[in-house]
Amino acid sequence: MPVPRSDWATLRRLLPYLWEYRGRVIVALAFLVAAKLANVSVPLLLKQLVDSLSIGPGDARALMVVPVGLLLAYGGLRLSTSLFTELRELVFAKATEGAARSISLQVFRHLHSLSLRFHLERQTGGMTRDIERGTRGVHSLISYSLYSIFPTLVEVGLVLTLLGVKFDAWFAWITVAALVIYIVFTISVTEWRTKFRKVMNELDSNAHTKAIDSLLNYETVKYFSNEDYEAVRYNESLERLRRAKLKSQSTLSLLNTGQQLIIATALIAMLWRATQGVVSGTMTLGDLVMVNAFMIQLYIPLNFLGVIYRELKQALTDLEKMFTLMEREREVDDAPGAPELQVPHGVVRFERVSFGYDANRAILQDVSFEIPAGRKVAVVGPSGAGKSTLARLMFRFYDVTDGRITIDGRDIREVTQSSLRRNIGIVPQDTVLFNDTVEYNIAYGRPGATRGEVEAAARAAHIHQFITSTPKGYDTMVGERGLKLSGGEKQRVAIARTLLKNPPILIFDEATSALDSANERAIQAELASAARNKTALVIAHRLSTVVDAHEILVMETGRIIERGTHAQLLAQGGRYAQMWALQQSGSE
């Protein structure tokens, strides 16, 4: 369980992303100070206008006394405040969006670099919600700190200075006391409320996870008529979320009421002091108006301090979650200075390989074999024997527990993962497609391939005729995970994708398991043609598909129990011969 970082540590983690735009930050801060100077000047100008109008009724000089210049200046200051504020936001928008983009991209890349184990254990709905909130947290943190807290601090400093210089110290002391009480109360209550907000967010992610998981498994829900069951589970999550939100709202009402009480008390004390000054003649009516205007300008942003502080805390919490995700250690990582894999021949060797997904369960035990360059080796055996694990280890989704895997004598742990995977192509047993067009899914084998190359690969996989028979042809959408296509159609798309990639090493993991016998025979010929002069590992259940293999390995409980050609294994009369006889009698 990761140790939660402090808010300051989270802020330090964010600063490098903003430092890239330091020039814009400086300009934005300059506009911010200019906007506040203009804003604080408005009450001063308002005082001059009010004092200028303090003349007897019917005085003919009134029109001359009211300085038109002051009115114009008053309007100009009001306009300047808005203008500088908008310029600040305009200048800093690029920094905010740039930082958010950089962080989101880094998280995306990091998630792709994490091991298969992480992705098998993750909860997609909750994880995507955390990333979404973290990205939004960048905007919130920058927005509230630069656009609310820092401007308020600047304005407080200017107002306190003016009150202390122009009037007696009591005005400044009342303001300071009110600010201190207000801030302490707000932070204390908001800290207390944070635990309710965290619970609410966890319940929100939990409800989102359940909804996404249910919708992704739409067909399974329908198969078992469990729509009501799913609705009940989702409703239970929503009910817990509702109760958490109500508790959060009730504590928010307490916070807002306390804040208003502190503001109202301070405002009454300030105005009472100013009224006494006007009555005694030490202050003018314009001074009273100016003090009132200062208090209104000061307490309007403070009125939202609770909201701002809460949002800042929430933004920091969300960012901390996302940064924790970014710092999740890679189980499988490239060695420092790892070179690119070069495959001049394509000889694959498993040398005394042992592996287990966890320490208490061994999947492979002391497995050794070689796939010579340009030859085909097949692996057969019952489910759970460890056949598909061989493919996962070759792709380095996991690192071997013991032994090593080499390609042309080079340990695959010594080269970059990207170069390793570029040189291996796979047709998996369970094909999952992107929710995009058929052309996109085939071209995914080699992004940038031309339509002609895509069509050639589709013809080789015997799916071109089916694609052209659909109304939209290669622009046909395949649906979420390819669910609009049949199992056989999906598998042929996967075959076409791998044929288009054209790597020197091929893995066929039950590549034709979803095809009928006629199509299987046709595609077997194409696969044999595609694998010619390439190193191929074939994982098969139907033994009829591997009779031409250079060597056949029979696996059981993670060990190789027999090896040889089809004829040699039949002559031995062992496990392979039993499986062959059973499948032949079944086909008959």
Type of residue at 162: L
Measure CA 30 to chain center.
Answer: 34
CA-based end-to-end distance of the chain:
56
Confidence at residue 408, expressed as pLDDT on a 0 to 100 scale: 92
Q: Which of the given ranges, 365-369, 433-437, 584-588, has the highest pLDDT on average? A: 365-369
Name all domains of the chain by residue range, CATH numbers in brackets. Answer: 7-326 (1.20.1560.10), 338-423+506-588 (3.40.50.300), 431-502 (3.40.50.300)
Per residue in 219-273, pLDDT (tens digit) is 788 878 888 888 888 888 888 888 888 888 888 788 878 887 888 888 888 878 8
Please give the Cα distance from 151 to 174 (Å, whole number). 21
Which spans in 114-217 are helix H?
Answer: 116-121, 124-144, 150-166, 169-216
Measure CA 527 to chain center.
Answer: 38
Per residue in 516-560, pLDDT (tens digit) is 666 667 667 667 776 778 899 998 888 888 888 899 999 988 899
Please give the Cα distance from 91 to 26 (Å, whole number). 10
**DSSP codes joined into one string, 290-307:** HHHHHHHHHHHHHHTHHH
Task: Dihedral sign for Cα 10, 140, 153, 298, please.
Answer: negative
Over residues 203-225, the mean pLDDT reads 82
Q: 182 forms bridges with which residues in the sheet?
A: none
Over residues 91-112, the mean pLDDT reads 75
How far is residue 524 from each of residues 59, 430, 454, measured CA to CA in Å?
107, 18, 20
How far is residue 57 from each of residues 60, 70, 394, 492, measured CA to CA in Å?
9, 21, 97, 95
Measure CA 488 to chain center.
Answer: 33
Q: In this structure, what is the dihedral angle of CA atoms 25, 30, 34, 36, given to the nearest 10 degrees?
A: 50
Confidence of residue 65 (pLDDT cuts 50, 70, 90): very low
- In this predicted structure, which of 173-177, 202-206, 330-334 has the lowest mean pLDDT? 330-334
Q: Edge-to-edge, what's the strand order for the sheet holding 505-509? A: 424-427, 505-509, 535-539, 376-380, 551-556, 559-564
Nearest Cα to Cα of residue 509 among 542, 482, 480:
542
B/e letters for 63-99, b = 16+ CB within 10 Å, e = fewer, are eeeeeeeeeebbeebeebbeebbebbbebbeebbeeb
**DSSP codes joined into one string, 561-576:** EEEE-HHHHHHHTSHH
CA angle centred on 428, ends 391 and 106, rounded to 5°: 80
**CA-based max dimension of the chain:** 126
- Which residues 6+ apart lie within 8 Å of 485 measured at CB? 433, 478, 479, 493
